[in-house]
Amino acid sequence: MMTPRERWLCLFNRQKPDRVPTDYWATAEVTQRLMNDLGCPTWDALLDTLHIDAPQHLGARCTVTTHPDNPKADNWGIEHVTAEYGAGAYSEVATHPLAHVASVDEVHAFKWPNPDDHDWVDFAQQLKGVTGRRIVRCGSYEPFLLYCQLRGMELAMMDLLAEPEIADAIFDHLFDYHYHVNQRMFEMGKGVIDMTYIAEDLGSQASLLMGLKEIHRFILPRQKKLADLARQFGIHIFYHTDGAARAVIPDLINVTGIEVLNPIQWRCPGMEREGLVRDFGDRVIFHGAVDNQQTLPFGTPADVRSEVLDNIRIFRNARWICAPCHNLQPVSSTANIVALYETIWQHGALT
């Protein structure tokens, strides 16, 4: 049998693994519940019990946790509050430190985080702890998500049309920070890091969140530079965008150079699985596609099993990693989650 890492690498190398690889995305509450319900004392034990090929994640911890102008805020100057929802909690943004900014000079005057403020000694130890059994994911770049937290979503969206100079200035600061942090991790982890995470939620439930013109102007060029950096070190590109993103997939492939497309919310317009396989099946690896807006939270184990079997059929001539299409939430039962992984284990053999 192949190791989890070998299964992922087979897909990257356009080869057929022994079985469909699997991955796992969930909130902390769901993970802890699964560990309790299935009698798994550790994270690794949970992955082994459910036969999950999830990556090993590495990252350099930031050593500065507050902003010099606001001790209540994180290193970006953003304050957070905990929002309880009954079965768990989320961290919500409470302040937008760049909401008042009206000029490029004010953007530059903001006290931006220093990319050197990371625990590089600890990161070196993480690299030494890599066993090679699981594929290694390291680094991230999702600037517009952070832009919206800094500026507020309404102003962030308006900036793209009304204040392009301010938008460029903010994007440049975000890019410079992430480029330097990722570059140092990639240099230290050369030959160990297999994959990096580049993301931007470009789709809503019905269409793109912004125009293709704005995506080409602000998003894709910087994504390409970060992806090109990763490729210099032989690192593969995992890309995440929620929602109805069909219209931008050709650009993500041709410009950014993505290799894995996540999460395949196939109920959204244009994201139908058969069409994606037809149009892009020879160019990207599909990741996700088990619906966690309807099937996993509100269906039965039989419904989950049927959807996984549908996916096996639809993706049979493509490269696919079986996973929920986003983070599993507490509303999804243990029985449904187990049905997902049991079904792909029982029926996902490829040789």
Cα-flanking dihedrals φ and ψ of residue 144, to 5°? -70, -30
Domain contains 156: yes
For residue 299, which amino acid is it? Answer: G
Domain contains 78: no
pLDDT at res. 220: 98
State the total domains in the chain: 1
CA distances from 197 to 205, 235, 260 (A): 22, 10, 10
Element of type H or E holding 23: none
Among candidate residues 132, 139, 135, the one with its CA nearest the CA of residue 118: 139
Q: How do beta strands 285-290 and 319-324 pair?
A: parallel
Domain contains 125: yes
pLDDT values of the chain reduced to their tens digit, one per residue, 351 residues: 999 999 999 999 999 999 999 999 999 999 999 999 999 999 999 999 999 999 999 999 999 999 999 999 999 999 999 999 888 899 999 999 999 999 999 999 999 999 999 999 999 999 999 999 999 999 999 999 999 999 999 999 999 999 999 999 999 999 999 999 999 999 999 999 999 999 999 999 999 999 999 999 999 999 999 999 999 999 999 999 999 999 999 999 999 999 999 999 999 999 999 999 999 999 999 999 999 999 999 999 999 999 999 999 999 999 999 999 999 999 999 999 999 999 999 999 997
CA distance 95 to 191: 40
Full residue range of the structural domain in which residue 310 is found? 4-66+98-347
Domain contains 221: yes
Other Cβ atoms less than 10 A from the Cβ of 92: the count is 10
pLDDT at res. 86: 87
pLDDT at res. 8: 98
Assess contact for 214 and 249: CB atoms under 8 A: no
pLDDT at res. 120: 98
CB proximity list for 190: less than 8 A, separation 6 or greater: 233, 234
Assess contact for 300 and 263: CB atoms under 8 A: no
pLDDT at res. 272: 98
Domain contains 77: no
CATH of the domain at 151: 3.20.20.210
Domain contains 58: yes
Q: Where do the DSSP E strands lie in 114-176?
A: 136-141
